[in-house]
Amino acid sequence: MKNFVIKKRCSDYEPLDLLKLRKSLQKSGASRSLCDEVVSEISPKIKDRSTSNELFKLARKTLAKKSQVLAANYHIVRGIYELGPTGYPFEKLCAEMLKKKGFHTRVGVILKGEHVKHEVDVIAERSDARLLCECKFHNKNTGKSNVKVPLYIHSRFLDILGHHGKSAYNSYAIFSNTTFSKDAITYAEGVGIKLFSMNYPRKNTFVDHIIRYKIYPITCLKTLKRRDIQFLLDKGVVVIKQLKEKIDLLQEREIKPNEIIAIQREINLLLKA
């Protein structure tokens, strides 16, 4: 296995790195010993020139046998990509997270500024804070958000406050399903823009938030078929809690009763975890 290579998304090859695989598994919350167990179980099954996607699926399947919750956690980053190609479901995911934090939310609102109108992805209001949010959804994990994003958001914030008054909103937040560049983080911290992404805040990332508040995207469900996901997204169902409340949509889709039971069981397991 020493000389095995793995084909990455970008079509390049890289040497198989079992340590890297173990680290990625650990992020799901699995213990060191469980990660070791999974790695040793799958390593004989890895083929030379496998794609990173095949490797991921193998690891996820093996982890799911140990714990469905950990398998869902392991799938979160990819699950969010699978909400694409449009950014709208990601906006709804961010809004659901803000709801869990006690905010009342509105998605896709046009607000007047001093000079021009702005489309604000999510407005979140709570008794102690009024937040404006920008949701940057990238289809590929090469789409790092650079410093231009917090730069234009800062001007947008100033323009909106210029019309609505300085105390109308407390701050702007930017959510991203990828990472922010170092400059983007430094600038945002400097001007008081809040960031939530896959690499920031370091000890409380977007994934940590999803796990804590159980805002799993429906794409994390092992029991839900790919072809049914788009149907649900089109109906505005993005997170598993929404699916639990609208489970009859699956009957409408003519999914077999025993499959529906399996989906419900997985949802309940994740929500109670």
x/- mask, a copy of itself, residues 87-126, rule CB under 8 A, reads ---------------------------xxxx---------
**Whose Cβ is closer to a copy of itself: residue 103's or residue 169's?**
169
**Whose Cβ is closer to a copy of itself: residue 44's or residue 165's?**
165
Asked if 147 is part of the footprint of a copy of itself (rule: CB under 8 A), the reply reads yes
Minimum distance from residue 119 beta carbon to a copy of itself (Å): 10
Minimum distance from residue 160 beta carbon to a copy of itself (Å): 11
Length of the chain: 273
- Cβ 172 vs Cβ 158: under 8 Å: no
Closest CA to 24 of 11, 38, 3, 5: 38
Minimum distance from residue 184 beta carbon to a copy of itself (Å): 9
Minimum distance from residue 169 beta carbon to a copy of itself (Å): 17
Spatial distance between the Cα atoms of 50 and 21, rounded to a whole number of angstroms:
14
Minimum distance from residue 13 beta carbon to a copy of itself (Å): 27
- Cβ 113 vs Cβ 163: under 8 Å: yes
**Whose Cβ is closer to a copy of itself: residue 154's or residue 194's?**
154
Exposure string of 58-90, with b = 16+ CB inside 10 Å and e = fewer, is bbbebbbeebbbbbbbbbbbbbbbbbbeebbbb
| Residues near 45 by beta carbon (within 8 Å), at least 6 away in sequence | 58
* Residue 85 phi, psi (nearest 5): -80, -20
Minimum distance from residue 81 beta carbon to a copy of itself (Å): 23
Residue of 156, 176, 217, 250 that binds a copy of itself (CB under 8 A)? 156
Spatial distance between the Cα atoms of 133 and 119, rounded to a whole number of angstroms:
10
* Binding residues with a copy of itself: total (CB under 8 A): 19
- Cβ 236 vs Cβ 216: under 8 Å: no
Residue of 191, 198, 260, 273 that binds a copy of itself (CB under 8 A)? 191
**Whose Cβ is closer to a copy of itself: residue 74's or residue 187's?**
187
Residue of 169, 175, 187, 216 that binds a copy of itself (CB under 8 A)? 187
Spatial distance between the Cα atoms of 64 and 76, rounded to a whole number of angstroms:
14
Asked if 40 is part of the footprint of a copy of itself (rule: CB under 8 A), the reply reads no
Asked if 163 is part of the footprint of a copy of itself (rule: CB under 8 A), the reply reads no
Residue of 40, 51, 186, 251 that binds a copy of itself (CB under 8 A)? 186
Residue of 152, 225, 245, 268 that binds a copy of itself (CB under 8 A)? 152
Spatial distance between the Cα atoms of 159 and 36, rounded to a whole number of angstroms:
53
What count of other Cβ atoms lies within 10 Å of the Cβ of residue 160?
22
Q: Which residues bind a copy of itself (CB under 8 A)?
A: 114-117, 147-148, 150-152, 154-156, 159, 183, 186-187, 189-191
